Amino acid sequence: MTPQFYILLMKRIIFLFFFISAFISCKKETRTIKNNTIETLNKINNSEKAIKTLKEFYLLFYGNEKPMNDEKLMKKYVSERVLKKIDDLSSDGENLILDYDPFINGQDYDGNMIRKTLKIEPLKNENEYRVSFSLFGRKDEKKTNIDILLEEDKNENFLIYSILNNEYLNFNNSNSNINFKKQGLENWYGIYLNSDSQKLTTSESIMKKIGWYKLSIKQDEIIFESDQRMESEFPTESPGGIYINYKCDYKIVGDTIKLYEKTDDVNSSPLEISKDNLQPVLILYKKDGKYYGISDDISE
């Protein structure tokens, strides 16, 4: 091979290499642009869907002269955790925290005026929106602004997940579990372990032996769970052979706390239950400085 031919061949090879590299680079860039375009379109579509949801909610419940009182329909637009929190804050006549409607930040309104002035805009963060309107349309009246966080449920429907500019319903760690007199969950913070052997006195020794039950109570989460090894070691035992892992809400009565399995919005912070007709998964009570538990999930 002559030197001139070798050099020419190398030039062709080098040129081909750069061309392929440039081609691949262009393909990658094109793919990135396409992905970004799809993501942008998805955000636009979600924003339009979210605004439509909020508009429907406000026109249905506040766009008429007569108030709409339909709990079933309300659940189509508002998450369970928000509804429970509102109920907890407004159901106790002796310790009334919420004496107004948090969705309009007032007690009274003109439905026709809300319908005429209703405006919904996206905020800076994803799924956050500002709903603004006039309650009465008076000359010196400032517009009411309600900042709302939406979340999609398992059916991809948007639900009101929190009211960001409401101190009781924004669910921030600092005030989502406000220590009202009637709650006192902080008095129960800690980890509780159950064992069928009173000789085991440390958490390490209890959890080393198969068959433990554990309750963890924190500000943002209550979990009642069992040793998963029991499913394979005691498969015929009932209820001992069934693995449990409940995220719970609660109710405190004196020296007793009752825990109820969450059925909706399991990742929300623990809420205090006001109803008495629910079946608790665990009753924990304090007597003579010791803690005792009663549960259908724990065999005698």
pLDDT at residue 269 greater than cutoff 50: yes
27 pLDDT band, cuts 50/70/90, is: very low
For residue 180, what pLDDT is reported?
38
Q: Provide mean pLDDT across the span 129-142.
A: 92
Q: Which two tokens stand for residue 209?
A: 């032996």
For residue 23, what pLDDT is reported?
39
As a whole number, the mean pLDDT across the chain is 78
pLDDT at residue 162 greater than cutoff 90: yes
Q: Can you name the residues that pair with 272 across neighbouring β-strands?
A: 250
Q: Return the minimum-mean-pLDDT range out of 55-64, 116-125, 237-246.
A: 237-246
For residue 93, what pLDDT is reported?
61
53 pLDDT band, cuts 50/70/90, is: very high
pLDDT at residue 94 greater than cutoff 80: no
Which residues have a Cβ under 8 Å from the Cβ of 235 and sit 6 or more positions away? 241
What letter would DSSP give residue 107? S
More confident residue, 201 or 278: 278
For residue 52, what pLDDT is reported?
95
As a whole number of angstroms, the distance between CA 159 and CA 157 comes to 7
Helices (H), the chain: 3-62, 71-74, 80-90, 111-117, 203-208, 230-233
Contact 107, 125 (CB under 8 A): no
184-242 tens-digit pLDDT: 788 788 888 887 666 776 777 888 888 888 899 888 899 999 888 877 766 555 455 67
pLDDT at residue 263 greater than cutoff 80: yes
Domains assigned to the chain:
35-176 (3.10.450.50), 185-294 (no CATH)
Closest by CA to 253, choosing from 215, 285, 296, 223, is: 285
pLDDT at residue 58 greater than cutoff 90: yes
